[in-house]
Amino acid sequence: MSGLTLENLSMRFDLPSGDHVQALQDVSLEIKTGELVSVLGPSGCGKTTLLNIIAGFLAPTSGKVSLNGKPVTGPAQERGMVFQKGALFEWMNVRENVSFGPRMNRVPTAESAPRVDRLLDVVGLGAFKEKAIYELSGGMQQRVALARCLANDPDVILMDEPLGALDALTREKMQGLVLKLWKETGKTIILITHSVEEALLLGERLIVMAPRPGRIHKQYHLPFADMGVNADLREVKHHPDYTRTREEILNMIWDMEEEIMGRSEAST
Amino acid sequence: MIILLIYIAIFIGAFFTVRLINTRLAQRNDFTSLKTVTFGDESAVTANRTASVISVIAIFLIWGAFTGSSLVPVHAPGPYVGGGQFDYEVLHPDGRRDTATVFWQVEATRGAAEDIAVADNDGFARDDAINIIKYRSGQLLWDRNDETDRKAGARIVAVNGQPTDFDPNARDADGNLTQDRPRFDIEHGSATLTDKGALLITPDQGWQMEPIWLPAPEAVWSRVVEIAGAGYQNSTLLEHLGWSLFRVVLGFACGALVGIPLGYAMGLSDWFRGWFDPIVEFMRPVPPLALIPLVIIWAGIGETGKIILLFLAALWIMTIAARAGVSGVNITKVHAAYSLGASRWQIMRHVIMPNSLPEIFTGARVAMGVCWGTVVAAELVAAEKGAGMMIMVASKFQLTDIVLMGIILIGIVGYGIDILMRRVEAWLVPWKGRG
Q: What is the three-class DSSP state of B124?
A: coil
DSSP state at residue B435: -
Give residue B260's pLDDT band: very low, low, confident or very high (50, 70, 90): very high
Superfamily name with CATH number, domain B217-428: MetI-like (1.10.3720.10)
Indicate if the pLDDT at residue B178 is higher than 60: yes
Residue ranges covered by each domain of chain B: 2-65, 82-203, 217-428
Which of A104, A119, A136 should one mutate to test binding to chain B, selecting the residue with the greatest count of B CBs within 10 A?
A: A104
pLDDT of A2: 74
Cβ contact (<8 Å) for A100 and B342?
yes
Give residue A169's pLDDT band: very low, low, confident or very high (50, 70, 90): confident
Indicate if the pLDDT at residue B25 is higher than 90: no
**Contacts for B183 with CB less than 8 Å, ≥ 6 apart:** B190, B191, B192
Per-residue pLDDT tens over the stretch B162-175: 888 888 888 888 88
Give residue B362's pLDDT band: very low, low, confident or very high (50, 70, 90): very high
Mean pLDDT, all residues of chain B: 88
Chain A, nearest residue to B358 by Cα: A91
Indicate if the pLDDT at residue B43 is higher than 80: no
Superfamily name with CATH number, domain A4-78+154-267: P-loop containing nucleotide triphosphate hydrolases (3.40.50.300)
pLDDT of B148: 83
Give residue B26's pLDDT band: very low, low, confident or very high (50, 70, 90): low
Residue B271 in contact with residue B421, Cβ under 8 Å?
Answer: no
More confident call, A149 vs A227? A149
Tell me the chain B residues in contact with residue A100 when contact means C-beta distances shorter than 8 Å: 337, 340, 342, 350
pLDDT of B410: 92
Average pLDDT rounded to a whole number, residues A223-232: 77
pLDDT of A219: 87
Residue B372 in contact with residue B248, Cβ under 8 Å?
Answer: yes
Cβ contact (<8 Å) for A55 and B335?
yes
Select from B341, B346, B435 the Cβ nearest to the Cβ of A90.
Answer: B435
Q: Is B160 exposed, middle or buried (0-12, 13-18, 19+ CB in 10 A)?
A: middle
Indicate if the pLDDT at residue A209 is higher than 60: yes
**What amino acid occupies position B239?**
E
Tell me the chain A residues in contact with residue B351 when contact means C-beta distances shorter than 8 Å: 89
- In degrees, rounded to 5, the angle at the alpha carbon of residue A50 between the alpha carbons of residues A48 and A53 is 110
Indicate if the pLDDT at residue B374 is higher than 60: yes
CA distances from A188 to A31, A146, B226 (A): 8, 14, 79
Indicate if the pLDDT at residue B28 is higher than 70: no
Give the pairing type, strands A188-192 and A36-40: parallel
Cβ contact (<8 Å) for A86 and B338?
no
- ipTM confidence score: 0.90
Per-residue pLDDT tens over the stretch A7-60: 888 988 888 888 888 888 888 889 988 889 999 888 778 888 899 999 999 899
Name the segment(s) of chain A with CATH classification 3.40.50.300. Answer: 4-78+154-267
Residue B318 in contact with residue B260, Cβ under 8 Å?
Answer: yes
Indicate if the pLDDT at residue A267 is higher than 80: no
